[in-house]
Amino acid sequence: MTKGYVYNLNADDANFNVARLVKEKSKHFEVAVEPDLAASFKEGKIKDVREVLKSEDIFIDCKKGLRPSEKELMDSFGMADKLKIAEMIINKGLIQYSDKYRDEQREKQKKRLIELVRINCIDGQTGHPLPIQRIENAFAEAKVKIKEGKNPEEQLQDVIKELRAVLPIKMDLKKYEISIPQKFASKTQGMLKQYGTVSQDKWQPDGSYSCKIEIPAGLSEEFFDRVNAMTHGESELKEIK
């Protein structure tokens, strides 16, 4: 969710995402928007307001379908061009997120946080990766709160602290030396960089490829499986202690 544009709607407005601008004498005007796109428009990432709007109409109340007269638009904005007025409402007003949208965003953040925990953490007692279901159960048991206005990466450290109350969790990185035979080297080289930080990489005289790689511990088993599958088990991997 984009920071700075959150405004609570009433429960009755659960299905509406609007941009609202309050003018003089407490008059307010609304446009129905796609919330993510409206935030991007406000940030200048989208130029055509029509990409953002669910309707090109201006409303006094989107939920009730109430529209202002042309005179009211002229009095408040000095024009009757609805697209230009919509731009003003989005740029100068507040984006109001519906309860449904906010719930959907929290669920997306939760899923991303669970995945980040899986990738970056291991069981502190066994040293093994943590299964998704075990992490999900720990989220429920620890009653982890998802913070609006902060992306999952920013919340990860706080979430790990909460999970430690119910789970022997540990952040860890593992380092490996790896050697790939020539016939698999080219197609495997790019894949390695998807998993972690590659260093001291070199092509050997026999055409094989070797390097050191540092990856999140939670990805170690997945990494081994991927390398072995791509090299038909002919690669050499050695953990660096």
Q: Residue 180 — φ and ψ, nearest 5°?
A: -115, 125
Q: Say whether both 177 and 164 belong to one domain.
A: no
Q: End of a domain among 171, 194, 220? A: 171
Q: Say whether both 115 and 88 belong to one domain.
A: no
Q: End of a domain among 128, 152, 171? A: 171
Per-residue pLDDT of the chain (241 residues; tens, 9 = 90+): 333 333 343 434 446 788 888 877 678 899 999 888 888 898 889 999 999 999 899 999 888 889 999 999 998 999 999 999 999 999 998 888 888 888 888 899 999 999 999 988 889 899 888 999 999 999 999 999 888 777 888 888 889 999 999 999 988 888 999 999 999 998 898 889 888 899 999 999 999 999 999 988 877 888 899 999 999 999 999 999 8
pLDDT of residue 13: 43
Q: Say whether both 177 and 167 belong to one domain.
A: no
Q: Say whether both 64 and 90 belong to one domain.
A: yes
Query: Which residue(s) pair with 174 in the sheet?
Result: 215
Please provide the DSSP assignment of 11-75 as one string: GGGTT--EEEEE-GGG-EEEEEB-HHHHHHHHTTS---GGGTBS-S--BSBTTTTB---HHHHHH
Structure tokens at 174: 């593992």
Is residue 125 helix, strand or coil? coil
pLDDT of residue 210: 95
What's the CA gap between 29 and 67, in Å, rounded?
Answer: 9
Query: Is position 6 within any domain?
Result: no
pLDDT of residue 103: 87
Q: Say whether both 48 and 73 belong to one domain.
A: yes
pLDDT of residue 15: 63
- Picking from 33, 26, 37, 42, the residue whose alpha carbon sits closest to that of residue 9 is 33
Query: Which residue(s) pair with 211 in the sheet?
Result: 178
Q: End of a domain among 96, 126, 152? A: 96
pLDDT of residue 228: 93
What's the CA gap between 28 and 46, in Å, rounded?
Answer: 24
Q: Say whether both 20 and 55 belong to one domain.
A: yes
Q: Say whether both 150 and 187 belong to one domain.
A: no
Structure tokens at 177: 């030396």
Radius of gyration of the chain (CA): 26
- Picking from 240, 203, 204, 206, the residue whose alpha carbon sits closest to that of residue 220 is 240
Domain membership of residue 28 as a residue range: 16-96
For residues 61 and 96, is the Cβ–Cβ distance under 8 A?
no
pTM reported for the whole predicted model: 0.59
